[in-house]
A = this chain, B = another copy of it.
Amino acid sequence: MNKNCLILQSGGPTVVINSSLYGIINEAKKHYKNITNIYGSLNGIDGLINDNIIDLSCESDEELIYLLSTPGAILGTARHQLSLDLNDKEYQIILEQCKGYELGYLFLIGGNDSMDTANKLTHFFKKVNYDCKVIGIPKTIDNDLVNIDHTPGYGSAAKFIANTFSELENDICCYQKGKVTIVEVMGRDAGWLTAASKLASINGNGPDLIYLPEVPFDKKDFLNKVSEIYSKKHYALIAVSEGIKDNQGNYIQDAILTNNQNDSFGHAALGGVCNVLSSLVKNELNLPTRGVELSLPQRCASHISSLTDINEAVNCGKYAVIKALNGLSGIMVTMNRSTGINYLVSYNETQLNDVANNVKTFPLNWIINNSDISSEFIEYALPLVQGENILRLNQGLPRYTKLKKIKATKKRME
C-alpha cells in the first residue's frame, strides 16, 4: 500500500506560509520510498472533506522555488472548526477520504485554531485506530503561540513594521508644524506586532509612544504625554495596537465612541482605533493629527520579508516531515533559541494538546511606563528581521507562483 501525505494551510495568510509548504514538499520528495505522493488540500480541512485535493508532485522544482517569495496561502485557507464530538459525521467523511487517498501523513500549517484541528484529528485517528501521523507547523504573524520562541511569519511582519515606522518618522518630521501621527498595528490580544515598531529606534528615534493590548489604556495619561511630546518636537509618532482596551476590558474605540455619541466622533469605528484616537487628540488638544492603519500589507508585504523568517519557515516544514517519518504524531514543530551571544534555534516539538487554544501575550516586564518597550525586546526581536529575501521579478514586478493544481487521483475503492 502507498503512503501519501497531505498538506493543509489554514488561518490568516502570511508571507511565509508558502515557505513552510515548500519545506514540506522539498523534504518529502527526498523520502519517496516512504512518502509516495505529495498532495495538497484546497482551503484547509474543507478541501479534504469536499474532495478538493491536488497532486503537488506534478509541480516542477523551477516553479516551486517561487513559493519562497509568494505571499498568501497558495492552497487557500479555511477557518472551519471541527466538532468536539469525535462521532460527528465530518470525521467519518475525513476517514473515508484518508483511506481513499491512502494518507499516512497530515501536515497542517497554521495558528491556534489549526493546531486545535490537528489535535482533534490526532485523537480521532487514535480512536478509530487509523495509522496517520499528524504534525502541526506553526504560522502566525501574531507571534502568540505558546511553547515556541517565536512563530514563522512574525519576523517578516516585524521587519515591515520596523521599516515603515523608520520611514514614517523621516516623513513626518519634515514639517515645521507636524502632525500627531497615530499608527494602528495588527494584534487583537497580543502586542508583539505593535512592539516591533520599537525596532525603528535602532537607527533613529522610533515611535514616541507605544501602546499594547496587554496593559489598560489610560486616556488622560495618553493626552498628557502627547501634549508634552508635541510641545518639544512639533510632531509625534505613536504606535497603537488595534486591540487596546480600557481598564474594564472594553476596546478603546468602543469606550470613547460610547462616551461621545453625539459629537464629532460619529461612527469613527469604521476607520479603526487610529482614527478614534486622532479625533480625541484633535478635540482635546487642538493639535493636527493623522491616523494611519498599516492594515493588510503587514501580513503580505513579501517584498520586504525577512530571510531568517523564510529559512525558519522552510525548516519547520522540513522537520515536520522528518519527525513524522520518525514516528511522531500529535505534535507541533517548535523552535527553541539557544543561550549565548549568537542567534541560533533548534527545531523541537510540543504536544498539540498543550499549544491548541493557548495564547502567549507580550511580557509585562518588557513594557515601560505603559507606553514604551524595553531593550530586552529589541534583543529578542532583532535577529528575527535579519536578511533580505531574494526578489523574484518579471519586468521589474513580483512574479509569484501559479501552481498547476492538478487534481489528485483517489484509489479505486473496492
Q: Which of B167, B202, B267 contacts A394 (CB 8 A)?
A: B202
Stretch at the interface among A107-115, A216-224, A289-297, A357-365: A289-297
A249 within 8 A of B: no
- 9-residue interface stretch from A56-64, A240-248, A334-342, A382-390: A382-390
Chain B residues with CB under 8 Å of A302's CB are: 167, 170
User: Using a Cβ–Cβ cut-off of 8 Å, how many residues does chain A contribute to the interface with B?
Assistant: 68
| Residue in chain B with minimal CB distance to A264 | B267
Chain B residues with Cβ below 8 Å from A72 are 167, 170-174
Answer whether residue A104 sits at the interface, using C-beta atoms and an 8 A cutoff: no
Bound complex: CA of A265 vs CA of B269, how far in Å? 10
Copy count, this protein chain = 2
Q: Are A163 and B267 in contact (CB under 8 A)?
A: no
What's the Cα separation between A290 and B176 when bound, in Å? 35
Report the stretch among A29-37, A91-99, A119-127, A397-405 that lies at the interface: A397-405
- Cβ B164 vs Cβ A297 within 8 A: yes
B-contact 0/1 string along A373-414, CB 8 Å cutoff: 000000000100111100100111111100000000000000
Known: A73-B174, A167-B300. 5 other contacts (CB 8 A): A72-B173, A76-B174, A199-B397, A203-B395, A293-B295
Residues of A bordering B, CB below 8 Å = 9, 13, 43, 46, 70-73, 76-78, 159, 162-164, 166-168, 170-176, 181, 199-200, 202-204, 264-268, 270-272, 275, 278-279, 290-293, 295-297, 299-304, 382, 385-388, 391, 394-400
